[in-house]
Amino acid sequence: MAELLEKGTWRPGLEQFVWTCDEQDPPTGWELGYRVVVIGFHGSEAPWVGFEDVPDPRAGGSLSEEAAALAVEVPHVATPQTPAPRLTDNLAEDVHVVAGLTWAQIAQVFNISERAAAGWRSQGVPPHRRETMEALRAIAVTLVGGLGSEGVSRWLSAGHPSRLDHARYLASQFLTVALNVDILREIPVGEATQSVFYRAVYLPARGEPDPLFAFPSVGRWPTAWTLYTGISEQVAWAEYCRNHAPDVELSDVTGGVGLTSTTLPSYAHLEVAKALPRRSLYELSFDFRAMADLTSPWAEDLLTRAGFDLQSFYADRASGYGDCPALAALVSELGWEAIRVPSAAWQRPDGFCVPVFERGRERLVDMVRALDSASPSVALAVATSYPSGQRPAWLG
């Protein structure tokens, strides 16, 4: 026992423990032919060690030889064949069921939202997504007989990068030829029925805010110059909250308690500003001559026929905003000055955004600074729709 202790099994500081283990690193007894079972102390007595003689697990061949002998008796395991799912004429449903992929996994392949992918069951897979989906279905049909749907899903998801990662890369190669321009030309354009739009504007440390400043090629509708506006003050503030969800999270006014339907009236009027920078609010008046309203039933039908996924209006930044950037790349060719689209942040009957493009810039007729400095209210922040998984916890 003394020799065992000297080899490092014991060290000062273990007095408070009764330690049992099944595995030891080499310097704790294996080299002596022992396995330490317990170290214990009784009052002021010297430590004692319980151990047992065991064969060295590093001795080659014993486990393999034992397994070989067992394999003679049990060379296989009979399993019932998994009934193969029946294929349908619905490509999206086939990939979901036969390949065992969740709608979230399918969405990740195409960098779209889960809701958009699930919508393909009823709306159909857009033409520019079909090739990848057909490939996934073909792989699933080949493997499902031996693996079952769950096994196919595991097979596709295994590895780094996984086979799904490879499919995601291939799918990205088809995005530049997504939409049918000839069908998009049929979408009516004309004068706007509303001329005043709202925009929350950055407050600089010095000087005046610039309500017409826009970063190039940024956001859901990226062009060389896209000015994001809303049809109401509520939409403008909701879009601001949605695009700065982490800052809203850090602006908890409840001290970590969180909101409920009971406490909301007490907090509704407070500002969300601890980590969310204040903004000026501007009213911008435009006299558009070529504005496309993409919210009408006629326009939605044409968009779908052109290959645009309508759920892209609500797609998250993490998913690349779905098909919106591809449509934005065509606005100059289509001659659109601005478009009226659903607001992803204010998903209500009165929730619409109006992205203004370079051709529409010259249609500006007036701008008014409605609020010098303001923040969204708690009520507004609660009513905002946030990207998947990003809703601030304290908002309830």
So what's the pLDDT on residue 61? Answer: 55
Cβ-based burial of 393 (10 A; exposed 0-12, middle 13-18, buried ≥19): exposed
So what's the pLDDT on residue 313? Answer: 94
> Does residue 149 contact residue 105 with C-beta atoms inside 8 Å?
no
Between 83-87, 264-268, 358-362, the lowest mean confidence (pLDDT) is in 83-87
Asked if pLDDT for residue 31 goes beyond 70, the answer is no
Predicted confidence (pLDDT) per residue in 89-127, tens digit: 899 999 999 889 999 999 888 878 888 889 999 888 887
pLDDT mean over 163-168: 80
Spatial distance between the Cα atoms of 173 and 132, rounded to a whole number of angstroms: 10
Asked if pLDDT for residue 30 goes beyond 80, the answer is no
Percent of the residues in the chain that have a pLDDT greater than 90, as a whole number: 46
Query: Phi and psi of 145, rounded to 5°?
Result: -65, -35
- The residues near 278 (Cβ < 8 Å, ≥ 6 apart) are 203, 373, 374, 375
112-133: buried (b, 16+ CB within 10 Å) or exposed (e) per residue?
bbbebbbbbeeeebbebbeebb
Residue 54: pLDDT band by 50, 70, 90 thresholds? Answer: low
Looking at every residue in the chain, the average pLDDT score rounds to 81
Q: Which is higher by pLDDT, 237 or 163? A: 237
Predicted confidence (pLDDT) per residue in 212-253, tens digit: 999 888 899 999 999 999 999 999 999 999 999 999 999 999
So what's the pLDDT on residue 29? Answer: 45
So what's the pLDDT on residue 72? Answer: 73
Q: Which is higher by pLDDT, 248 or 42? A: 248
So what's the pLDDT on residue 370? Answer: 93
Q: Which is higher by pLDDT, 302 or 9? A: 302
> Does residue 186 contact residue 179 with C-beta atoms inside 8 Å?
no
Asked if pLDDT for residue 258 goes beyond 80, the answer is yes
Predicted confidence (pLDDT) per residue in 145-155, tens digit: 777 888 888 88
Spatial distance between the Cα atoms of 149 and 2, rounded to a whole number of angstroms: 59
So what's the pLDDT on residue 299? Answer: 96
Q: How does DSSP classify residue 310? A: G
pLDDT mean over 164-171: 75
Q: How does DSSP classify residue 20? A: -
- The residues near 188 (Cβ < 8 Å, ≥ 6 apart) are 292, 293, 296, 298, 299
Cβ-based burial of 324 (10 A; exposed 0-12, middle 13-18, buried ≥19): buried
So what's the pLDDT on residue 218? Answer: 85
Residue 82: pLDDT band by 50, 70, 90 thresholds? Answer: low
So what's the pLDDT on residue 131? Answer: 82
Spatial distance between the Cα atoms of 386 and 28, rounded to a whole number of angstroms: 55
So what's the pLDDT on residue 364? Answer: 95
So what's the pLDDT on residue 137? Answer: 87
Helices assigned H by DSSP within 14-159: 62-73, 91-98, 103-110, 114-123, 127-157
pLDDT mean over 253-258: 93
Between 13-17, 334-338, 375-379, the lowest mean confidence (pLDDT) is in 13-17
So what's the pLDDT on residue 177? Answer: 44
Predicted confidence (pLDDT) per residue in 279-317, tens digit: 899 999 999 999 999 999 999 999 999 989 898 999 888
Q: Which is higher by pLDDT, 388 or 18? A: 388
Percent of the residues in the chain that have a pLDDT greater than 70, as a whole number: 79
- The residue whose two tokens read 């009934």 is 83
> Does residue 386 contact residue 245 with C-beta atoms inside 8 Å?
yes
Between 173-182, 185-194, 246-255, the lowest mean confidence (pLDDT) is in 173-182
Specify the pTM: 0.61
